[in-house]
């Protein structure tokens, strides 16, 4: 199994008790759909290792209690703590035309209603308060909030991602990155 064939479901948070249980966070809009899994993959230093699940119970919010086959002691799970959890892409539910998973739009061309072609979508950053589209134009990184009022649609066949960025946002990134020497001339 390779990373390109999988999606990241979450990660192992901490040990839970003394009998080999771990708490895991499932980062999904419907994490309960994954409660009946028989197995999952953990990324252990770049290797995708399959783990058979003996028990999966909902703890609270997006946190779940997992017990893996053959891991029955506190010491046996220490190396699992912090490991990302992956599942094969075929476990993702099908979406309609204007819905998308973040990983599938990487590489799409971002097109703004007013500005035109902004650049290639390199990633969608989710570690901020607002998810951000990250693209590049003229060697300069441009961050566009992924908000409902900004997202205008996608064309999966053309690999295009349509937005209506706030007026001046894109230009601000292009202008603010000018060389200081240019301003002093």
Q: How confident is the model at residue 33 (pLDDT cuts 50, 70, 90)?
A: confident
Q: Tell me if the pTM is above 0.85.
A: no
Rounded to the nearest angstrom, the gap between the alpha carbon of residue 119 and the centroid of all alpha carbons in its chain is 20
Rounded to the nearest angstrom, the gap between the alpha carbon of residue 178 and the centroid of all alpha carbons in its chain is 31
Q: What is the mean pLDDT of residues 32-39?
A: 86
Phi, then psi, of 153 in degrees rounded to 5: 145, 175
Q: What is the mean pLDDT of residues 64-89?
A: 92
What does the pLDDT read at residue 180? Answer: 43
Query: What integer best gives the mean pLDDT of the chain?
Result: 88
Q: What value does the CA radius of gyration of the chain take, rounded to a whole number of Å?
A: 21
What does the pLDDT read at residue 176? Answer: 63
- What the block records as the tokens of 4 is 């390109």
pLDDT (tens digit per residue) in 95-104:
888 888 888 8
Cα separation, 144 vs 86, in Å, equals 28
């Amino acid at each position: 199994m390779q990373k390109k064939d999988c999606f990241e479901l979450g990660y192992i948070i901490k040990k839970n008790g003394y009998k080999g249980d771990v708490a895991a966070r499932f980062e999904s809009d419907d994490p309960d759909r994954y409660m009946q899994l028989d197995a999952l993959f953990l990324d252990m230093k770049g290797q995708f290792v399959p783990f058979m699940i003996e028990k999966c119970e909902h703890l609270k919010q997006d946190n779940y209690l997992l017990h893996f086959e053959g891991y029955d002691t506190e010491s046996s799970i220490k190396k699992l703590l912090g490991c990302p959890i992956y599942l094969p892409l075929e476990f993702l539910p099908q979406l309609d035309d204007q819905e998308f998973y973040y990983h599938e739009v990487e590489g799409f061309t971002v097109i703004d209603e007013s500005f035109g072609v902004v650049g290639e979508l390199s990633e969608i950053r989710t570690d901020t308060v607002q998810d951000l589209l990250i693209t590049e134009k003229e060697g300069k990184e441009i961050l566009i909030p992924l908000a409902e009022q900004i997202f205008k649609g996608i064309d999966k066949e053309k690999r295009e991602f349509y937005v209506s960025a706030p007026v001046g946002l894109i230009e601000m990134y292009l202008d603010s990155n000018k060389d200081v020497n240019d301003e002093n001339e």
